[in-house]
Amino acid sequence: MKQATTAIRSIDRVSHVVFWFLAVSVVMLSFVYAFFIQKAIRNVVARDEVHAEIASLNSKLSAAEFKYINSVESVTLDKASLLGFTPTVDGQTTFITRETIGKNVAVR
């Protein structure tokens, strides 16, 4: 009888430990789940903010392109001469080139 009581008590202790282990595990997993849900929500909000900013920048870019196209169409020789530009004389045209030095340099 004494052995049966001891066996029942040891089973009771094991079940008590298993219960608390499972209870703590459930609580910890709940916190981890809540953390990941919160991160997902923040990422969705950030993505929406980025999309709004992209839309705003696209509209500013379109306005700048439109302004550029209109300004290119308004450039004339008269306007250029008013700004100080002069036509080049044949033979005086000079182009800037970049000389490459060390064409056969090996990097090891």
87 secondary structure, DSSP code: P
pLDDT at 32: 98
pLDDT at 40: 97
In order along the chain (108 residues), what is the average pLDDT of each group of 10 residues? 72 84 97 98 97 96 94 86 82 73 61
C-alpha 90: how far from chain center = 52
CA-based torsion, 22, 27, 28, 29: positive or negative: positive
